[in-house]
Structure 1
Amino acid sequence: MTSTASLAPPSPRRLQAAAWALRIQFFVSGALFATWGVHVPTVKAHYGLGEQSLAIAMLASGVGALLALTQAGRVVARFGPRGVAGLMGALCAGGVSLLIVPDAYLGLVGLLMLFGATASLFDVAINAEATEIEHLAARPLMSGFHAMFSLGGMVGAGVGSLLPWLGWTPQTHLFAACGAGIALILGACAAMLKMRTEAGEKQPMSLPRGVLALIGALAALGLIAEGAMYDWSVLFMKQERASDASIAALGYASFSLAMALGRFGGDWVRARVAPVPLMIASGLLAAAGMAAALLVPVAGAGLLGFALVGLGLSNVVPVLFSAASKVPGISAAHGIAAVSSLGYLGMMAGPPLIGMIAEHSSLTAGLACVVVFALVMAMSAQRALGVTQPGGGQPCRRLTDTRIGR
């Protein structure tokens, strides 16, 4: 993982402004993912696709992301998080706006590959900046930053639910989301910290092994479940529960709102609950919520179930990233980099896997994978986290040296 540093220690006011600018970037990232998620049924209908063809198109997004991630360290090191976030965020928003412009399936595949590549670089850039701000603030802030991603997803899905009632066409919504996203991204970039740039990544990332590989596998399972909600929740509500477009979009919104609330309270929870029991509870809650959504054939049960999935998954990434930084014999930077790479792979590869199962069986069967993966997370928590947290781990201590307003 590339290390970046600010050119000079910023003043408290400057650091606070940078933190809020970064929250805006996470918010926009979540909103862009939600805009894509809300319009999965629109894309499916526009191109006349089955679940398998749609899953293959989604896989193109994953391929684009993985190709970009091989160079992400060098790119962020060379141009700095602020420059990469501005350019890649704007290109990501532009790609979303064009999703239903082409008539050819190959055009969709190309756009989703662009979306995956630019979204992953945007994500790496803002997380690099988040790491530096958290270090300078000397207290945990990462859960709050990621909460803004979830809040952006909730707002993006909520807007997608409201606009059909106002007579907006899908294309008008996509263009409006693009314009608003680019304006917010570029405006926030002006307040981000300027980081020292480097010539490039000097050491390649090695594959994780042992307990680090297990933690990374759990991150992948958790993010497969999260990615399933982003890409398939709206279609599930519309196709399996016969909901109209506005109610279907609320499936994504309920998931994102619950995840945002869980992450906003994440630092408070992690200060009081040890990692192993927290991970077990998280996995069981997510499994129960997904099972309720799939087994109870009522739209309201789907909305409640998706909310429980969001609450259950909300603290999985913070817990696993913290554990990765404490693996004996492994530097914190290497541990987090390895786990995040496996997690991101899971998030991008999971939705196409679910789509292929749906094509040969049903979307309900495909989303049942979320139940299985959440249960595996719960059952593997002690083995994965016990090494880094002897005796089940102690709650995280709150650092209060410097406070940044939320």
Structure 2
Amino acid sequence: MTAPSLAAASRALRTQFFVTGALFATWGVHVPTVKTHYGLGEQSLAIAMLASGVGALIALAQAGRVVGRYGPRAVSAVMGLLCSAAVASLIALPQYAALLVVMGVFGISASLFDVAINAEASEIERQAAKPLMSGFHGMFSLGGMCGAGLGSVAPALGLSAQGHLLLATGAALAALLLACRAMLPPPEPHEAGGKQPLSIPRGPLLLLGVLASMGLIAEGAMYDWSVLFMKQERGSQASTAALAYASFSGAMAAGRFGGDWVRGRVPAPRLMRASGVLAAAGMALALAVPVPGVALGGFALVGLGLSNVVPVLFSAASQVPGVSPAHGIAAVSGMGYLGMMAGPPLIGLVAEHSSLTTGLLVVVVFAVFMALSAKRALRAA
């Protein structure tokens, strides 16, 4: 692979991460819209979110095999198309049962897309021989910030909710398909052939997967519940509520764009421990102080704290002895993504029987666990 081709693939992958973040943000800012459109309570909304988690579970068991056989470029193109179509259809259908199907498709396609682009990121980082993972994930956060920002200003621009969904997903899909053309070529047949291991973490990968799951549950809570928290628990207007996701994603993007520099200077266990403490403190602040501005600041601290958790864990997964980097990344990202998809519905079930504030306490608990487990999980990093 020549340097210019590798550079082009790197730029393409940054676009893919940006698009993924924008799609998740578009879903996130429309959680209240979906709730209103279908007349849902928190429990029914949580079940819809759980449908995406079930879809993710179905897909993730075979993610390593699918990506290994067809390559990240083909998988990201097909799954990106399906993911965009699912987000565009969120409120286009009249029945709750149809929403469950849409969310299932969203879970399947988004999880496979996520594994594909992270496998691509691992390979590019390997070929470049320098830290790049945090920067790639920074584009995800930047995409989330931009997607949430567009959602915030869409009503002022006269866009209906469905109009915004169509505009956002159409632009995302166009960028995604163009980027796919510059990604690394698919593996040679002899590299992709044979039986591929299931993307299920075992041994040292298991704790890494658990921490990735907890970190992504916390991220998923911000995607799916922060906007509703601002509206429901803090009484914010829709435009202000949308800034909850934007403040989280903006801080996370800043932390990730500087993350490769930090990772080169701070040992991984120490960085993970500090990240967990900061995320726990930010979430506790947002939940404890009933002031919208303070909540936005707390969400920003959560974003900064979580910014390098996933890049650190993925890099550690690619270095586990006796496990290929691609399989390590697929296994840990698969388990982490399952947490991202399945965690928010559990928060919704708690919210239905108590309050959303109580449900979001899980972010504090998991962030503390990450801090306490950092040394054991990353002892060899």
- TM bucket (normalised to shorter chain) is over 0.9
**1:161 alignment partner, one of 130, 152, 164:** 152
- Distance change in 2, residues 1:322/1:80 (3 Å): closer
1:384 deviates by 2.0
Cα deviation digits, residues 45-91 of structure 1 (max 9, x gap)? 00010111101100110111121222323332333222221121112
Aligned to 1:105: 96
Residues of 1 paired with 2:67 and 2:269: CA distance?
A: 34
Aligned to 1:379: 372
Aligned to 1:183: 174
Q: Is 1:277 equivalent to 2:273 in the alignment?
A: no
Please state whether the residue corresponding to 2:275 is helix, strand or coil.
helix
- Distance change in 2, residues 1:75/1:212 (3 Å): closer
Q: Is 1:84 equivalent to 2:75 in the alignment?
A: yes
CA contact (8 A) 1:233 1:251 kept: yes
CA contact (8 A) 2:65 2:196 kept: no
- Distance change in 2, residues 1:330/1:82 (3 Å): closer
Q: Is 1:305 equivalent to 2:298 in the alignment?
A: yes
CA contact (8 A) 1:79 1:197 kept: no
- Summarize the alignment of residues 50-69 of structure 1 with structure 2, pairs less than 5 Å apart: 50-69=41-60
CA contact (8 A) 2:133 2:315 kept: no
> TM-score normalized by structure 1?
0.89
Task: Give the aligned residue type for 1:278.
Answer: L
Cα deviation digits, residues 322-359 of structure 1 (max 9, x gap)? 33344455554444333222212211111011000000
Please state whether the residue corresponding to 1:164 is helix, strand or coil.
coil
Q: Is 1:267 equivalent to 2:270 in the alignment?
A: no
Cα deviation digits, residues 240-295 of structure 1 (max 9, x gap)? 11111110000000000011111100011111111122111100100000001001
CA contact (8 A) 1:74 1:200 kept: no
1:211 deviates by 4.0
CA contact (8 A) 2:61 2:200 kept: no
Aligned to 1:249: 242
CA contact (8 A) 2:64 2:331 kept: no
CA contact (8 A) 1:74 1:201 kept: no
1:206 deviates by 7.0
Residues of 2 paired with 1:383 and 1:81: CA distance?
A: 32
**2:212 alignment partner, one of 205, 219, 223:** 219
CA contact (8 A) 2:348 2:359 kept: yes
Q: Is 1:229 equivalent to 2:236 in the alignment?
A: no
- Distance change in 2, residues 1:201/1:170 (3 Å): farther
Aligned to 1:136: 127
Aligned to 1:397: none
CA contact (8 A) 1:148 1:260 kept: yes
Residues of 1 paired with 2:119 and 2:303: CA distance?
A: 25
Residues of 2 paired with 1:117 and 1:64: CA distance?
A: 5
More displaced 10-residue stretch of structure 1: 180-189 or 246-255: 180-189
Aligned to 1:288: 281
CA contact (8 A) 1:25 1:188 kept: yes
> TM-score normalized by structure 2?
0.95
More displaced 10-residue stretch of structure 1: 224-233 or 342-351: 342-351
**2:117 alignment partner, one of 97, 112, 126:** 126
Cα deviation digits, residues 97-146 of structure 1 (max 9, x gap)? 11001111001000011111111121122222222222221212111111
Task: Give the aligned residue type for 2:43.
Answer: Q
1:366 deviates by 0.2
**Aligned length in residues:** 379
Cα deviation digits, residues 200-252 of structure 1 (max 9, x gap)? 56133375445432222111111111111111111101111111111000000
- Distance change in 2, residues 1:335/1:92 (3 Å): closer
Q: Where do 5+ consecutive residues of structure 2 fail to align? A: none
Residues of 2 paired with 1:206 and 1:16: CA distance?
A: 29
CA contact (8 A) 1:80 1:197 kept: no
More displaced 10-residue stretch of structure 1: 244-253 or 314-323: 314-323
Residues of 2 paired with 1:384 and 1:133: CA distance?
A: 25
Q: Is 1:344 equivalent to 2:310 in the alignment?
A: no
**1:146 alignment partner, one of 126, 137, 140:** 137
CA contact (8 A) 1:30 1:149 kept: yes
- Distance change in 2, residues 1:197/1:125 (3 Å): farther
Residues of 1 paired with 2:201 and 2:60: CA distance?
A: 16
Coordinate RMSD, CA, aligned:
1.6
Please state whether the residue corresponding to 1:340 is helix, strand or coil.
helix
Q: Is 1:353 equivalent to 2:354 in the alignment?
A: no
Aligned to 2:357: 364
